[in-house]
Structures are given as structure tokens and as C-alpha cells.
């Protein structure tokens, strides 16, 4: 009774719901004659129409139950860290099924193959395909295919034949089955199940190669399963004696047709999907819908053509991901990501719960100890043998060898799941006499693999010390070196005249860049579409976000006074080398000056899809400098436009301004390499961006109010001279004093300007806002814009005055250098140059 207590509250709720479910149909039964009676009495104000909503209502309730159950599970970390969710769901399903049975005495809710294959499976597989690590997948494609095809055939054949052998020995007693029935059973029980594998392996975190092999196998073996299943089913229908050699050949041919056809359908639909998303610029709101609808169509189409639907939707996801992600806006991408995860996770939840519920149905249970136990033994043993044999072959060709430990995990990870169950339920009792035995055995097998192996795989992995996947931050250097590497390797292959893996990849990416991307990607997306740029961008964003987050989390004196601030860091390229002069401190200074606004800028940029800046520029600039008068600040409702509504922008802008102010003070407070690094990076990022959209929407504005703030502070500075911390003695005074000053302010908690210590004045920010909301009175609307214009140029005087604060983390010399004439690349020009560029818009 693991975590019973922890789930207590959840249970109560569930039970209540369940009772409602059980009781409602009866209520209806009792009520119906009555209501029919009443109907004759004329018009009714309120009617109770349960039958009218019954089906969708029950579906919705079940989904709710499953979701609530998930909440319940996660109330206790202890339980979920030991027991996989799938196991909990199955157990929950069993309990619920028992209750339903007790209330109703018919198994009214079961996992039907139609529901499973049409509604529950596609989201999971699409999710898997869409988020497939392509490189890893194709890098191991050979291995995966071998396991998926040969391995599955091997499992099916050996299991079926061995069971038949045992049956002949008479150990199973009297069963009305022939060889073909056993082979049919073997084929449906052989396939490793993607849903179960995902559910268990996602929690185990084995290394990525191992994961991709097991998972890839479970996805790709679908074609084999489908073919084997269909072939043997038709053979059973035909009758064993009428099967000819031609049929067998047909079976083999149909394997290729089904698998390749399914893949082709997937690829075609991926192409279509990519092409469609290229033109969705003006229908942003339904953009995510295309992804789902078209990939679902690929699934249905291949199902219609009796091809492998799983392969189709998998490859649809795999092939479209690159182009779709590039084409759709950032918001849509997020929507797609979350919706997909939600659907997949929801479907998975429901599948496991209904697996449990479906098991509670005495009508389907037919027990045969020998058959059940032997099936369990055979599938485990043959899986292990198959894995060992195939790995032995593979390891002669593989660079990254699969060790014994990996093989153990692979054998052990061969979970069977809902696909097998759905297939076995599909069997026709008239053709397959022992259907119920097969069904019950499948349920046992599924439960055994999911529950027992699912429970034990984590300890096993720990015990065997399987190489875990390590979550590493993407590093810019790694990406760069990785890229260089790819080129080097393909070059070496070119030079040595071989057609290898790298050669193929290189050719493919060339082809992709030259043709596919041109057709399938938006022009704006083509520009910025580069993995390195993306990583660069991601890193910058992450830095910015974590920077803010850290500030808010640690936001106290401890933060300011933390030891890390004592160790100042100076990443300084001001080497004597003439070549690097332009990267000298003045450069950093520039970066620092705009760094704060950049934080927000890139965040904002992210929100409004960096790649579609075309239409944004004008809007943004206008709205930056010209706040709307109050009367124009009205709420609009539009079904078709979500994001770019004016008020939202304005709110955002106000938010950003506040944030910026807070950041200003953070900045001066927080020292260390993080900042330097980030600042520089952000600045550069921004420059890169500016080049693209030729404006810095947020870039110039912040000088306005922070500046005022800082002038105040500077006065304070003079006063707080004696406060200077002794250990900073050698450092340049300004910034440090400022720090001390903040500290003082904060302790006094009066902080007159209200923004110097952001952490202690979150409310204050609001009050500032309410005091001077820039858009409040129409008269004032122009003022900010004018001021902004005037102040943006960043006259050298301003510049210098700001410098001490901004550079508070800099060493003396770097500051001095920074203050002096700037580098040869004309850093002073930068602020000037940017101004006309954007104001004329």
C-alpha cells in the first residue's frame, strides 16, 4: 500500500467521481419513465437530459479522473520516485475497474482497439517523432532497424514455436489451437511497446544511445508487428492447410510495402506540413493546428491504405520538425510543444488506467497456468537471447560498442504494452477459438512487464551502474567545435575517398540547405536558421533569465554581499596584441551600457518571434515612443489576433521598464563573470539582431529613467564615502560605494527612490507605476517619447557618468581604459548610430 496516505485526498475525490459514474446510469434508468411522463405536461423550464450528454460526459469524467489521479500520485515524491507512474495508473485502473464492476456488473469501460488506435496512440507517437533527436536516431538507424525487424521476427517466431512445442507435449492440457494461432499470438506479443517503453524509460534516464535504441526499436517494429499480425490472422482465417508458399512470399513482400509505404506517407505529409506552415504568417492563431491535423491525417491515410500508421506519423514528425520549428512563430512553437506533450501524456495516462480497468472483466479471463507462465518465460528469455545475438553481430560494426550492461538493460527494457492488448482484443473469437486465453495472457504479460520490470528497472540500472544520461547545458564552444568537427570529418572522408556516415550527412545537409530549406522554410527563417546561432541565442536568454531569477531568489543583502561578489572577474580581451584591440574594454563598456535593456529586449524578442520581425519593427518603434492616449487604450477582442494587441504591448512595455529599472540596480549589485559574459553576449546578440531588423526597440529607452535614478544615487555616493568596504579598498571606488550604499538603503528600508534595491521594493515598483503611468493622461503621452529621443544619443557626458555604476565590477584599469577614448572600431558611434536608424521609422 505504497503511498496510500499520501494519496488519501485524491482517493476520496476519485471515489466520489466514480460513484457518480456508477450511479448516474441507474438514476437515469429510474428517471426515464418519469420524465417521459412529465413531458406531456407542457413546456419545462429545466430539464434533466442525462442521455443527451452521457457519452461525452463520461469521457470527460474519465479524463478528469485520470488527470486527478496524476495529481494524487505526485503528492508524494517518495512514491513516484520508486514506482513508475504507469504502474500506479494500472493499479488505479484495477481499483476503479473493481468499483465499476461492483456497481454495475458489466465491464462498461474498456480499452477498445478503435479508441486506442485512433485517438490514444497517435498523439504519443507523434510526440515521439516530433521531438525525436534526429541525429542520434539516424546515427543509430542501422542498429535500430536490426533490432526492430530481425529482433521482432525472432521474438515472434521463437515465442510462437516454443509455445506450440510445449503445447504438443501436452503440458497445457486441451486447447483448441493450431500452430498458426500460436504464431499469431507470438507476433502480437513480440513487439516492444513504444508507450510502455517511453513511460518507463523516461523516468530511468539511461544514456541516450541506449534509450534511442530501445525506443527507436519500439517505434519501428510496428511495421513488422502489423505485417506479422495481418499475415497470420489471414492465415488463421484461411485455415492452416490452405496456406501456400505464395502466401508466405506475399507476406514478405507486404512487409516491405507496409513499412516503406508507411514511411513514404509520413514523409509526404511532412513535406506538405512544412510547406503549409511556410504560409501561415497571417493565420498565426491556427498555426499550431496544422501540425496536429496534418500529422493525424498522415496516420489516417496510411491506416486507410493499410500501411504502417505508426511509421507514417513517426516519420511525419521526424521529417517536419526542422522546418516547422523554423517556420512557425515562437508562440506557436511553444503551443505545439505543450499541446503535444499534453496530448501524449494524457493519452498515456488514459491508456494505462484503462489497461487496468479492462482487466477487471471476468468474462475475458481464461486461465491456463502453463500457457501464461511459459509465455512470460519465453518472451523474457528469447528477448535476451535475441538481444545478445544481434548485439554480437552489431558490435562488429558499431563504433560505440554495446556493452554487456547495455544488453541487459535492452533485454529488460523490452516492455509489452497496450499495442499488444489492443491487437489481441481485435481478434475474432470465431476464428481464433482461444481468444480469451490469449487476451488474459496478454494482460498478464503486459502487467508483468510494465509493473514488475517497470518497478525493478530503475534499481537495476542503478545497480549495474549503467551510464546515465547527463543533462548538460549546451555550450557554445561545444557546438562550435562540434560543427567544425562535422566538417572536418566529412572533409577527411572526401579526401580519403570514402562514402561514410559523415559523407552522407554532409551531402544531405548540403542538399537540404540548397533545395529543401528553400522550398520549405520562410525566407526570414532561412536567415536565422542556424544551430549555432540558436544555441547562442538560447544561452543568452538563459543567462538573462537565470540572472534575473537569481537576483530575485537571493534578493537580499546576502545576494549583494555574497562571497561570489568578492571575487571579481575580469574577462578582458585587452591584450597588447594589436589584433585584439577592438575587443578591449571599451567594447565591454559599450556592452555593459546596453546590457540591461538587452535582457528584456531579448526576452521580449523571444515572445514575439525573433524571426518575424518584418511587421514588428514599425509597430514597435511607434509604440515605444508614442504611448497611446488613454482613450485609445481599450480592450479589443479578436478571435484571430492574440498577441499583438496594443494594450498588451503597452503593458509589456511598462513591465519591461520596471524590470529594467530593477535590473539596473541588480546589475550594479551583482558582480562576477556571469555578468560580464552575459552582458557582452547579449550586446552582441543584440547587435546581430539589430542588423536583421535594423532597430533596437528597447535598446535606447532605458537611459531615461535609470539615468535619473543614478544621478540621485551618485549624490548619495558622495555621502556614503566612508562606508566603503575595506576589502574593496584597492578597487575603483564608485561601484563599490554604490554597493555599500544600497546595502545601507536596504537596511534602512526607506529607499527613497524606490528602485535602487529591487528586492526590497517590489511593491514600490508598482507604486511608481501608479504614480506616473506614462499613458495615463493624454497630455503626457508625448513626453516620454521626446525625452527618449533626446536622451538616447547618450552624450559622452552621460556615458561617463553612467560608467562607474555599470562598471562597478570592473577593475581599475579596465574602467580607466573604458573611460578613455574608445577602441578603434568607434564604439562611441554606436549609440549615435542606432538612433536615427530607429527613430525615423
Looking only at residues 538 through 567 of this chain, which bind other proteins when binding is defined by CB under 8 A? 539-540, 567
Residue with smaller CB distance to other proteins, 54 or 487: 487
Least distance in angstroms from the C-beta of 283 to other proteins: 25
Q: Report how far apart, in Å, the C-alpha atoms of 390 and of each of 144, 212, 314, 396, 402 are.
A: 11, 16, 24, 10, 10
Three-class DSSP category at 475: coil
The single residue among 222, 434, 506, 704 that binds other proteins, judged by CB under 8 A, is 506
CB of 583 to other proteins, least distance (A): 6
Q: Where do we find the cell 554532409?
A: 506
Query: Which residue in the set 61, 370, 489, 626 belongs to the binding site for other proteins (CB under 8 A)?
Result: 489
Instruction: Choose between 698 and 809: whose C-beta lies nearer to other proteins.
Output: 809
C-alpha distances in Å from residue 438, one per residue of 173, 223, 239: 15, 21, 18
Burial class (CB in 10 A: 0-12, 13-18, 19+), 727: exposed
Q: Which stretch binds other proteins (CB under 8 A): 59-67, 372-380, 416-424, 677-685?
A: 677-685
| Lookup result for grid cell 543584440 | 686
Q: Does 495 bind other proteins (CB under 8 A)?
A: yes
- Pick the piece of the chain touching other proteins (CB under 8 A) from 96-104, 594-602, 604-612, 685-693: 685-693
Among 575, 618, 767, 795, binds other proteins (CB under 8 A): 575
Q: What is the rounded distance in angstroms from the CA atom of residue 605 to the CA atom of residue 284?
A: 17
Smallest separation (angstroms) from other proteins to the CB of 316: 24
Determine which residue in the list 44, 47, 401, 556 makes contact with other proteins, applying CB under 8 A.
401
Give the integer Cα–Cα distance in Å for 454 and 451. 5
Q: How many Å apart are CA 416 and CA 197, to the nearest integer?
A: 8
Instruction: Please report how close the Cβ of residue 709 comes to other proteins at its closest, in angstroms.
Output: 26
Contacting range for other proteins; rule: CB under 8 A; set: 150-158, 284-292, 428-436, 502-510: 502-510
621 binds other proteins (CB under 8 A): no
Q: Shortest approach of other proteins to residue 325 CB, angstroms? A: 17
The binder of other proteins chosen from 71, 480, 622, 719 (CB under 8 A): 480
Q: Give, in order, the Cα–Cα distances in Å from 282 to each of 5, 90, 527, 636.
A: 52, 45, 20, 18
What mask of x and - would describe binding to other proteins in positions 416 to 445, judged by CB under 8 A? ------------------------------
> Are 706 and 841 within 8 A, CB to CB?
no
- Residue 833 interacting with other proteins (CB under 8 A): no
- Options 40, 41, 579, 770; binder of other proteins; rule CB under 8 A: 579
Question: Is residue 491 at the binding interface for other proteins, with CB under 8 A as the rule?
Answer: yes
Mapping DSSP onto H, E and C, the string for 734-783 reads HHHHHHHHHHHHHHHCCCCCCCCCHHHCHHHHHHHHHHCCCCCCHHHHHH
Which residue's CB is nearer to other proteins, number 95 or number 516? 516
Least distance to other proteins from the beta carbon of 322, Å? 14
| Residue 39 binds other proteins, judged by CB under 8 A | no
Nearer to other proteins, 208 or 647 (CB): 208
Which residue from 48, 279, 485, 508 is in contact with other proteins, where contact means CB under 8 A? 485
Q: Is 503 in the site for other proteins (CB under 8 A)?
A: yes
Strand, coil or helix: what is 578?
helix
Residue 520 and residue 320: Cα distance in Å, rounded? Answer: 9
3-state helix, strand, coil in the chain (%, to 5): 75, 0, 25
Query: Among residues 812, 820, 826, 829, which is the contact residue for other proteins, using CB under 8 A?
Result: 812
Determine, following the binding rule CB under 8 A, whether residue 245 of this chain makes contact with other proteins: no
Return the C-alpha cell found at 152. 521482432
Is 483 among the residues that bind other proteins (CB under 8 A)?
A: yes
Of these, 487, 553, 715, 800, which contacts other proteins (CB under 8 A)?
Answer: 487
State in angstroms the smallest separation of the CB of 684 from other proteins: 3
Q: Which of 768, 764, 829 is nearest to 796 (CA)?
A: 829
Question: Can you say whether the dihedral through the CA atoms of 239, 244, 247, 252 is positive or negative?
Answer: positive
Closer to other proteins by Cβ: residue 5 or 482: 482
DSSP, res 398: -
Question: Per CB under 8 A, does 394 bind other proteins?
Answer: yes
Q: Assess 574 for contact with other proteins (CB under 8 A).
A: yes
Q: Is 576 exposed, middle or buried (0-12, 13-18, 19+ CB in 10 A)?
A: exposed
Instruction: Note whether 583 binds other proteins by CB under 8 A.
Output: yes
Q: Which stretch binds other proteins (CB under 8 A): 27-35, 166-174, 397-405, 703-711?
A: 397-405
Say whether residue 504 binds other proteins (CB under 8 A): no
Binding-residue pattern over the window 636 to 675 for other proteins, x denoting contact by CB under 8 A: ------------------------------------xx--
Q: Exposed, middle or buried: residue 114 (CB in 10 Å: 0-12, 13-18, 19+)?
A: exposed
Stretch that binds other proteins, among 76-84, 441-449, 507-515, 765-773 (CB under 8 A): 507-515
| Least distance to other proteins, CB of residue 157, Å | 22
The torsion angle over the Cα atoms of residues 125, 130, 131 and 137, rounded to 10 degrees, is 80
C-alpha cell belonging to residue 764: 514600490
| Binding of residue 142 to other proteins (CB under 8 A) | yes
Confirm or reject binding of residue 400 to other proteins (CB under 8 A).
Answer: yes
User: What residues numbered 509-528 form the site for other proteins, per CB under 8 A?
Assistant: 510, 513, 526-528
The pairs formed by 20-27 with CB atoms below 8 angstroms and a separation of 24 or more are 20/61, 21/58, 21/61, 21/62, 21/100, 22/99, 22/100, 22/103, 22/104, 23/103, 24/50, 25/54, 25/104
Is residue 435 within 8 A of residue 176, CB to CB? The reply is no
For residue 561 the three cell numbers come to 554581499
The reply to whether 490 sits near other proteins by the rule CB under 8 A is: yes
Site for other proteins in 707-736 (CB under 8 A): 731
Cell 535593456 belongs to 597
Residue 5 burial (C-beta neighbours within 10 Å; 0-12, 13-18, 19+) = exposed
C-alpha to C-alpha distance for 796 and 713, rounded to whole angstroms: 19
Distance of CA 555 to the CA centre of its chain: 30
Give the number of C-alpha atoms closer than 13 A to the C-alpha of residue 274, restricted to the C-beta side. Answer: 26
Residue 496 binds other proteins, judged by CB under 8 A:
yes
CB of 693 to other proteins, least distance (A): 13
Nearer to other proteins, 71 or 491 (CB): 491
Residue of 337, 619, 652, 684 that binds other proteins (CB under 8 A):
684
Over the Cα atoms of the chain, what is R_g?
A: 33
Number of residues that bind other proteins (CB under 8 A): 83
Structural contact between residues 475 and 409, judged by C-beta atoms closer than 8 angstroms: no
Q: How far is the CB of 691 from other proteins (least distance, A)?
A: 6
Are 157 and 186 within 8 A, CB to CB? yes
* Residue 299 or 503 with smaller CB distance to other proteins: 503
Q: How far is the CB of 447 from other proteins (least distance, A)?
A: 35
Q: How far is the CB of 542 from other proteins (least distance, A)?
A: 12
Binding segment for other proteins among 303-311, 390-398, 715-723, 833-841 (CB under 8 A)? 390-398
Taking CB under 8 A as the rule, does residue 127 contact other proteins?
Answer: no
> Which one of 102, 293, 688, 816 is in contact with other proteins (CB under 8 A)?
688
The residue within the footprint of other proteins, chosen from 272, 336, 568, 759 (CB under 8 A), is 568
- What's the min distance (Å) between Cβ of 153 and other proteins? 17
Task: Judge whether 124 and 348 are in contact, CB under 8 Å.
Answer: yes
Pick 501 or 789: Cβ nearer other proteins:
501
Amino acid at each position: 500500500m505504497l503511498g496510500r496516505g499520501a494519496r488519501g485526498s485524491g482517493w476520496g475525490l476519485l471515489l466520489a467521481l466514480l460513484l457518480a459514474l456508477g450511479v448516474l446510469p441507474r438514476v437515469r434508468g429510474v428517471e426515464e419513465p418519469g420524465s417521459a411522463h412529465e413531458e406531456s405536461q407542457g413546456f419545462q423550464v429545466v430539464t434533466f437530459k442525462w442521455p443527451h450528454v452521457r457519452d461525452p460526459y463520461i469521457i470527460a469524467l474519465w479524463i478528469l479522473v485520470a488527470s486527478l489521479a496524476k495529481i494524487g500520485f505526485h503528492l508524494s515524491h517518495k512514491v513516484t520516485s520508486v514506482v513508475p507512474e504507469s504502474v500506479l495508473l494500472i493499479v488505479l485502473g484495477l481499483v476503479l475497474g473493481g468499483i465499476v464492476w461492483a456497481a454495475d456488473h458489466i465491464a462498461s469501460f474498456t480499452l477498445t482497439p478503435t479508441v486506442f488506435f485512433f485517438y490514444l496512440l497517435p498523439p504519443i507517437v507523434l510526440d515521439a517523432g516530433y521531438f525525436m533527436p534526429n541525429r542520434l536516431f539516424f546515427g543509430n538507424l542501422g542498429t535500430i532497424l536490426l533490432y526492430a525487424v530481425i529482433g521482432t521476427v525472432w521474438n515472434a517466431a521463437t515465442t510462437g514455436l516454443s509455445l506450440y512445442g510445449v503445447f504438443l507435449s501436452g503440458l497445457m492440457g486441451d486447447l483448441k489451437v493450431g500452430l498458426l494461432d500460436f504464431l499469431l499470438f507470438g507476433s502480437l506479443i513480440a513487439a516492444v511497446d513504444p508507450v510502455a517503453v517511453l513511460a518507463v524509460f523516461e523516468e530511468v534516464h539511461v544514456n541516450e544511445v541506449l534509450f534511442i535504441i530501445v525506443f527507436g526499436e519500439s517505434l519501428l517494429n510496428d511495421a513488422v508487428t502489423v505485417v506479422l499480425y495481418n499475415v497470420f490472422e489471414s492465415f488463421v482465417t484461411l485455415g492452416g492447410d490452405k496456406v501456400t508458399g505464395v502466401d508466405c512470399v506475399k507476406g514478405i513482400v507486404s512487409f516491405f510495402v507496409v513499412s516503406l509505404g508507411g514511411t513514404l506517407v509520413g514523409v509526404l505529409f511532412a513535406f506538405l506540413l512544412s510547406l503549409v506552415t511556410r504560409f501561415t504568417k497571417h493565420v498565426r492563431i491556427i498555426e499550431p493546428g496544422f501540425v496536429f491535423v496534418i500529422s493525424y491525417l498522415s496516420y489516417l491515410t496510411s491506416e486507410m491504405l493499410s500501411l504502417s500508421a505508426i511509421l507514417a506519423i513517426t516519420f511525419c514528425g521526424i521529417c517536419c520538425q526542422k522546418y516547422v520549428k523554423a517556420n512557425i512563430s515562437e508562440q506557436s512553437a511553444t503551443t505545439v510543444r505543450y499541446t503535444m506533450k499534453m496530448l501524449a501524456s494524457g493519452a498515456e495516462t488514459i491508456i494505462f488506467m484503462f489497461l487496468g480497468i479492462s482487466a477487471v472483466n471476468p468474462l475475458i479471463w481464461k486461465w491456463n497456468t502453463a500457457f501464461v507462465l511459459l509465455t512470460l518465460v519465453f518472451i523474457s528469455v528469447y528477448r535476451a537471447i535475441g538481444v545478445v545475438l544481434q548485439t554480437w553481430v552489431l558490435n562488429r560494426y558499431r563504433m560505440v560498442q554495446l556493452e554487456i550492461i547495455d544488453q541487459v538493460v535492452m533485454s529488460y527494457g523490452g516492455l509489452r504494452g497496450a499495442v499488444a492488448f489492443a491487437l489481441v482484443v481485435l481478434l475474432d473469437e470465431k476464428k481464433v477459438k482461444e481468444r480469451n486465453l490469449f487476451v488474459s495472457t496478454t494482460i498478464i504479460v503486459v502487467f508483468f512487464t510494465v509493473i514488475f520490470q517497470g518497478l525493478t528497472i530503475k534499481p537495476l540500472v542503478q545497480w549495474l551502474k549503467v551510464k546515465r544520461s547527463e543533462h548538460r547545458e549546451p555550450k557554445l564552444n561545444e557546438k562550435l567545435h562540434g560543427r567544425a568537427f562535422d566538417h572536418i570529418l566529412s572533409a577527411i572522408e572526401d579526401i580519403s575517398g570514402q562514402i561514410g556516415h559523415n559523407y552522407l550527412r554532409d551531402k544531405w545537409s548540403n542538399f537540404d540547405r540548397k533545395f529543401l530549406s528553400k522550398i520549405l522554410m520562410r525566407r526570414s527563417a532561412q536567415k536565422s536558421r542556424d544551430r549555432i546561432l540558436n544555441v547562442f541565442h538560447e544561452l543568452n536568454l538563459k543567462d538573462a533569465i537565470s540572472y534575473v531569477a537569481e537576483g530575485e531568489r537571493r534578493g537580499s543583502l546576502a545576494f549583494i554581499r555574497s562571497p561570489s561578489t568578492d571575487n571579481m572577474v575580469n574577462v578582458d580581451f585587452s591584450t597588447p596584441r594589436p589584433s585584439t584591440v577592438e575587443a578591449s574594454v571599451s567594447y565591454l563598456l559599450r556592452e555593459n551600457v546596453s546590457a540591461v535593456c538587452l535582457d528584456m529586449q531579448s526576452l521580449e524578442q523571444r515572445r514575439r518571434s525573433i524571426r518575424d520581425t518584418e511587421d514588428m519593427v514599425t509597430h514597435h518603434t511607434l509604440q515605444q515612443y508614442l504611448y497611446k492616449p488613454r482613450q485609445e487604450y481599450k480592450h479589443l477582442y479578436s478571435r484571430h489576433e492574440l498577441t499583438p494587441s496594443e494594450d498588451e504591448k503597452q503593458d509589456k512595455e511598462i513591465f519591461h521598464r520596471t524590470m529594467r529599472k530593477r535590473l539596473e540596480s541588480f546589475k550594479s549589485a551583482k558582480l562576477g563573470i556571469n555578468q560580464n559574459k552575459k552582458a557582452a553576449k547579449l550586446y552582441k546578440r543584440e547587435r546581430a539582431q539589430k542588423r536583421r531588423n535594423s532597430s533596437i526597440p528597447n535598446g535606447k529607452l532605458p537611459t531615461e529613467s535609470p539615468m535619473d535614478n543614478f544621478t540621485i544615487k551618485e549624490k548619495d555616493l558622495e555621502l556614503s564615502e566612508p562606508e566603503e568596504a575595506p576589502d574593496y579598498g584597492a578597487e575603483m571606488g564608485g561601484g563599490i560605494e554604490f554597493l555599500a550604499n544600497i546595502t545601507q538603503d536596504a537596511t534602512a528600508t526607506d529607499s527613497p527612490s524606490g528602485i535602487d534595491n529591487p528586492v526590497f521594493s517590489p511593491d514600490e515598483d508598482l507604486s511608481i507605476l501608479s504614480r506616473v503611468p506614462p499613458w495615463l493622461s493624454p497630455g503626457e503621452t508625448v513626453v516620454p517619447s521626446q525625452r527618449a529621443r533626446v536622451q538616447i544619443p547618450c552624450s559622452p557626458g552621460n556615458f561617463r557618468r553612467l560608467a562607474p555604476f555599470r562598471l562597478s565590477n570592473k577593475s581599475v584599469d579596465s574602467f580607466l581604459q573604458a573611460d578613455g577614448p574608445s577602441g578603434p572600431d568607434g564604439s562611441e558611434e554606436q549609440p549615435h548610430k542606432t538612433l536615427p536608424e530607429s527613430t525615423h521609422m
